[in-house]
Structure 1
Amino acid sequence: MRDNVTIMNWNFVKMHGAGNDFVVLDGVRQAIDLTPERARLLADRHFGIGADQILLVENPLHLEADFRYRIFNADGGEVEHCGNGARCFVRFVHEQGLSRRNPLRAEIKTGIITLHDTEIDGVSVEMGQTRFEPEAVAFDTEGLHSTPCGADTLWTLPLPGHPDVQLSLVAISNPHAVQIVDNVQNAPVGTIGPQIESHPRFAQRVNAGFMQIIDRNTIRLRVYERGAGETLACGTGACAAAVAGIRRGLLDSPVLVHTRGGPLTITWTNNTLHMSGPATTVYSGQVNIDTLTEQYTTKDFLQP
């Protein structure tokens, strides 16, 4: 006790999926009141633990699900889906002894997904519904030029210094805008990415993908994620890029996606989308959320 107030110590596990890193919290065996502010504190790489996203595992609300799985970006905003996080979620559940079920059914913000954990292939995730109409990514098309490309539609989004950016729109629970670049290493992800991510035509913001096609089954990808900035890997972004390339007639399933954090494999057949890749536990620990809050408040006075 401190000043007659119970100190809140939260057990956590640090994990990553191809370099996309997470703080995972067990909300089944401990009480977790995860607010947007607390998510930001945990994700802070200087004053907190550090992560791209915070994952919270809870008991399900839906009778058909085994668990509820929630995702908070580094900026504190709760989002619909995270493919790399989903793989870490199922590995966490098994390693922590919360369940032996395999596959698992997880309730996310937009429905239920199925996850299968294997020693050989890592974790495979059935990614759920895929949509392509502008309304699915809350994109305002009024006055914009569109171009058919195979089964896809490319939308030209004028940006300062880049008037001809052509985007494929893909919704995989969360929104994505994918463009093709000649060389992903030299792509202006740090400048164009934020402009697309927060463009006013995307009412709910968007994940901006930059895809380089190597051959019909291989791409390289960088993603500027909504609320997190560029990450080493983005699972739903890999799915969106692969599907966009297939719809354009440039790729065939399966697609090997090389991210900066490692490879992911995407298969899309008969409108069923699967992603497989690694899920790695780094370390476990305990954080005093009250002390973390106090330290973060104190640092505000240290700014110039």
Structure 2
Amino acid sequence: MAIEFTKYHGLGNDFILIDNRASTEPKLTPDQAIAWCDRHFGIGADGVIFALPGQDGTDYTMRIFNSDGSEPEMCGNGIRCMARFLADLETAETGKFQEKYRIQTLAGIITPKFESNGQITVDMGEPRLLASEIPTTLTGEKVIDQPLEVAGKSWNVTCVSMGNPHCITFVDDVAAIELEKIGPLFEHHPVFPQRTNTEFIEVVRSDYLKMRVWERGAGITLACGTGACASLVAGVLNEKCDRRATIELPGGCLDIEWAADGRIYMTGDAEKVFSGSRS
């Protein structure tokens, strides 16, 4: 039986979106998601996102399978893609869509909102800084500018959870990082019992950062929304950037703000690529 899908991307971080509103269980298994995400033999994507019915008063539920079949708690670019997907579905069915959604994720309730210019602002919630919340076994209640030995080199790292784990390190030149070699060593380092996303950050100005990312379960991607949020938090904690800054990723830029209410707000776009069906 063929399953309909639509592909979207947020700054080149691409996802296969599936209308799963008729069931609380994803239409694909993790193994099927791996096959669909294959860029040579499948559709090609960083992950598959399922739009399921809402829970506990939310509008919808989001679940994601990464390209390796693992299931992350949340995805910043992915939830913007899901908001665009839901708006397209609702417009096709009723001629209008909600300007704001409350979406249940494994990281809690996330709220994307459409701006008048078509951009999507997502209330990403408050960052979690306790080592036990990341989780990491690095010493101390919080991990801020701590040394970590990776590949025979000491890196100063800061750990932040945006509902999923992030390890951030500041470097002089992000382009010089051999991400395909060093990324997996960070992801699978024993101090991260649930593995980790890893962001390498170059501070251009206090309001402008460059970022490259190795995503847990997906590898090198062109963008990572939760990673951009975590990186701004790490920059503020290390007194390297303002509480609002542009984060430049290989796929484009995101506007990130750690607001006075303690919550992180991410603003960026999401675009439809194409629709189809696959058995």
* TM-score exceeds 0.5: yes
User: Which residue is 2:216 aligned to?
Assistant: 226
Gaps of 5+ in 1: 1-7, 289-304
Is it true that 1:159 corresponds to 2:153 in the alignment?
no
Matched, 1:51 2:41: no
Cα RMSD over matched residues?
1.8
Asked whether the 8 Å contact 2:22–2:53 carries over to 1, the reply is: no
Residue in structure 2 matched with residue 4 of structure 1 by the alignment: none
What is the CA distance between 1:129 and its match in structure 2?
Answer: 2.9
Deviation at 1:191, TM superposition (A): 1.6
Equivalent residue letter for 1:33: K
**Match in the other structure for 1:298:** none
Could you tell me how far apart the structure 1 residues matched to 2:180 and 2:186 are?
Answer: 11
1:61, CA displacement in angstroms?
2.2
Q: Tell me the residue number matched to 1:137.
A: 134
**Mapping of residues 33-182 of structure 1, within 5 Å:** 33-63=27-57, 65-97=58-90, 100-120=97-117, 122-141=119-138, 153-162=144-153, 164-182=154-172
Greater C-alpha radius of gyration: 1
Cα deviation, residue 152, structure 1: 6.9
Percent of aligned pairs with the same amino acid: 37
Moved over 4 A (4+): 29-32
Contact 1:177 1:209 in 2 (8 A): yes
1:239 and 1:275 in contact (8 A); partners too: yes
Distance 1:32 1:135, change over 3 A: closer
* Post-superposition offset of 1:233: 0.3
Amino acid at match of 2:32: R
Contact 1:55 1:69 in 2 (8 A): yes
CA distance in 2, matches of 1:208, 1:46: 26
CA contact (8 A) 1:66 1:104 kept: yes
TM-aligned CA deviation for residue 121 of structure 1: 5.2
Q: Tell me which of 181, 189, 192 is aligned to 1:191.
A: 181
Q: Contact 1:152–1:244 (CA<8 Å) still a contact in 2?
A: no
Tell me the matched-pair count.
273
Gaps of 5+ in 2: none
Aligned equivalents of 1:96, 1:155: Cα separation in 2: 46
8 A contact 1:13–1:283 mirrored in 2: yes
Using the size of structure 1 for normalisation, the TM-score is 0.86
**Is this contact kept in 2: 1:189–1:224, CA < 8 A?**
yes
Match of 2:251 among 258, 261, 272: 261
